[in-house]
């Protein structure tokens, strides 16, 4: 129905409201439905939907995400990431001038390179996020947690593989902006940079 609507609609500014579009759809159909919604939005239709599925989120379009949370102090509240804050922060930390389109493209590229986009999206629903460099850490952490009988899944913790060390701060900035506590784990990569001693490596890691 929505595909047909997107093809025949003319100058119709009527917004669409959808509650949990993922219901009764298998994962592939969910991703296809999300693509249809994106196409509709890009053609000018304003769309609001609530979801519990990571298949209807995208790190590369984080400006479209509103998190609805509840706690004892604030009650129910809505959290959104402010693009301008990202741009200012990027310049303060790295002296990089950016704009709206460039910033989203950077996150889209980082998102595509993680190799684990499902976890990147799932992190928006997490109570806490652990950011790691690559596959080794993402495989070892669950093993270590199981070894000490720590049920990290029941605790609402998501482990996100960032692809490489240089992308960790990008994801940390993103999830922190949404108020999700983040923790970072990366190795020292001793002598990886051609350094002569461990202290040089530590300095390089801090700069990264």
- Of 1-10, 13-22, 97-106, the poorest mean pLDDT is in 1-10
Q: Do residues 38 and 69 lie in contact, with contact meaning Cβ atoms separated by under 8 Å?
A: no
Question: What is the model's pLDDT at position 6?
Answer: 67
**pLDDT at position 111, please?**
62
Say how far apart CA 38 and CA 53 lie, in whole Å: 15
Q: Rounded CA gap, 135 and 161, in Å?
A: 7
Radius of gyration over every alpha carbon of the chain, rounded to an integer in angstroms: 20
**Tens-place pLDDT, residues 126-159:** 999 999 988 888 899 999 999 999 999 999 999 9
DSSP category for residue 98: -
Residue at token pair 């949370």 = 69
List pLDDT tens digits, range 171-191: 898 899 898 999 999 877 655
Pair 20, 55: CB distance under 8 Å: no
């Amino acid at each position: 129905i929505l595909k047909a609507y997107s093809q025949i609609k003319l100058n119709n500014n009527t917004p669409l409201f959808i509650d949990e579009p993922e219901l009764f759809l298998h994962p592939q159909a969910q991703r296809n439905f999300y693509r249809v919604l994106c196409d509709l939005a890009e053609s000018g239709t304003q769309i609001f939907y609530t979801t519990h599925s990571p298949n209807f989120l995208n790190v590369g379009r984080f400006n479209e995400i509103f998190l609805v949370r509840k706690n004892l102090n604030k009650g129910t509240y809505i959290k959104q990431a402010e693009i301008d804050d990202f741009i200012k922060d990027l310049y303060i930390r790295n002296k990089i001038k950016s704009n709206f389109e460039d910033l989203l493209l950077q996150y889209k590229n980082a998102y595509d390179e993680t190799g684990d986009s499902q976890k990147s999206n799932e992190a928006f629903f997490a109570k806490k996020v652990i950011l790691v460099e690559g596959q080794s850490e993402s495989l070892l952490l669950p093993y270590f947690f199981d070894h000490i009988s720590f049920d990290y899944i029941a605790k609402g913790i998501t482990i996100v593989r960032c692809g490489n060390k240089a992308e960790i701060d990008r994801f940390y900035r993103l999830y922190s902006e949404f108020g999700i506590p983040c923790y970072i784990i990366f190795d020292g990569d001793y002598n990886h940079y051609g350094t002569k001693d461990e202290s040089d490596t530590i300095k390089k890691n801090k700069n990264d």
